[in-house]
Amino acid sequence: MEMSKEYYYHKLYELAAMLNSSHAPDTVLQAFVEGVAKAVGAKGCSLLLLSPDRTNLVHTISYGLSARYVKKGQVSADKSIAQALDGEAVSILDATTDERVQYPRENKEEGIASILSVPMMQRGDIVGVVRVYTAEPHKFTADDTYFVWAAANLGAIALENARLYDSIAKDYEALKRDVAEWGLRIGGGGGM
């Protein structure tokens, strides 16, 4: 089923509104991958981030994929649809035979026919990819690709916000401990 530009426009608006919500970071990212998959009419979607040494892609969050598939093994940045890490959107029609796919047998076992992989960028640097998986062979249209690319940009903002939220939460907890310890030292330091 081919989606219209108007349909994707509305789905992008819904996705942006959801990402701008006050939900916890994990909830927002889970809703992100689910929203992308449902908007495209796909079996699933995942967010894979580059490891610190940039050699592997790590399944960070996914929707519609089994735990066994997500934990199938290390996803090599060089062997798994590597062109996406060069800044290109990559469409794989047959994920069970295409040489650019690292785990074709696992794709077949999972019921994945086609994959669209789009880079996720933060401040000009590629930090990972958003992947959309279909159960039936699917030729992704320019509109499909553009929607996922726009969603990946929104997802990058949500990811950065989640990291900032976690950092602030940790800093706040450390500050509370420091103030409590300081209060004990001041209050327990002798008579006044």
- Give, in degrees to the nearest 5, the angle at Cα 159 between 24 and 38: 80
Residue spans per domain, the chain? 5-187
The per-residue pLDDT string of the chain (192 residues; one tens digit each, 9 = 90 and over) reads 567 788 887 887 788 887 777 667 778 888 899 999 999 999 999 999 999 999 999 998 999 999 999 999 999 998 889 899 999 999 999 999 999 999 999 999 999 999 999 999 988 899 999 999 999 999 999 999 999 999 998 888 877 777 676 667 676 677 777 777 776 777 665 554
Between CA 90 and CA 71 the distance in angstroms is: 22
Per-residue tokens: 119: 């880079």
Distance CA 113, CA 95 (A): 5
**What per-residue confidence (pLDDT) applies to 141?**
94
CATH for 5-187 (3.40.50.2300, 3.40.47.40, 3.30.450.40, 3.40.50.300): 3.30.450.40
Q: Which helix (H) or strand (E) holds 91?
A: strand 90-92
For position 55, what pLDDT does the model report? 93
pLDDT value at residue 172 = 67
